[in-house]
Amino acid sequence: MAESRWIEINCDMGEGFGRWKMGPDEDLMHHVDVANVACGFHAGDPSTMVRTVHLAKKHGVRVGAHPGMPDLLGFGRRRMAIAPEDMYAAVLYQVGALAGILAAEGVPLNHVKPHGELYFFVQRDADIRDAVLRAVKAFNVPIYGLPTKHMIEDCERIGLKLIPEFYADLNYDEEGQLMSVAESVPAVPELVEERIRTFASTGKVEGKSGKMVDVPVDPQGFSICIHSDLPGALDNAMAARNAVNKALKEG
């Protein structure tokens, strides 16, 4: 019997630091299913992490760890040279910090999702990918990411479940590969909703060049990422929820 269709919305949250706030987390919680909580390296601090977990618990939103590069100044979006074993330790350290907070609050760790440059580093470097996947495996939770051939094969090798992601607020190139925040055109709610509805029904998305391209994600089951730090994040999340509701209703 075929599995029923599932589509969820995940959002990067808790990405402030100290007195600096990033993203309307309180409002976003009403429109998402999963929160990826920053763990201190690219953003987040102990008190912000605790507050974000409290918020997610209040709204019944599942919580995952969102580890990044040790790059507060660049918000974890700059390339850095890091040895694989140092990256392994850094991911263990960050996820472990959030896991401790979750345990104190009686909330399970749902998953791990690398942030920013680390997300792309995992895709292009086999040794970094292995290091990150081994670190995630220690927590026995899935990893969110792009279901590329090498990612799928390495997750299977390590015994890690991969949750495939679709990005509604970023661009894809002519080969259906995700583009970074810096390379993408800022998204507006109408575009977010249209991208989700088109992908959910056809498996395609309009690339940055205007050409329709195939995206290597199964439209029968995927998680949609919305960035809380981008302009119009709340409106984008509301548009995404509307599109998801329609897609699930249409089947």
What would the pLDDT profile of 170-211 be if each residue is shown by its tens digit?
Answer: 999 988 899 999 999 999 999 999 999 999 999 999 988 889
Residue spans of alpha helices (H) in the chain: 25-28, 46-59, 84-105, 116-124, 126-137, 149-158, 189-202, 233-250
The confidence score (pLDDT) of residue 121 equals 97
Q: Whole-model pTM?
A: 0.94
Mean pLDDT, residues 149-171: 96
What local confidence, expressed as pLDDT, does residue 114 receive?
98
DSSP assignment string, 110-140: EEE---HHHHHHHHH-HHHHHHHHHHHHTTT
Per-residue model confidence (pLDDT) at position 3: 65
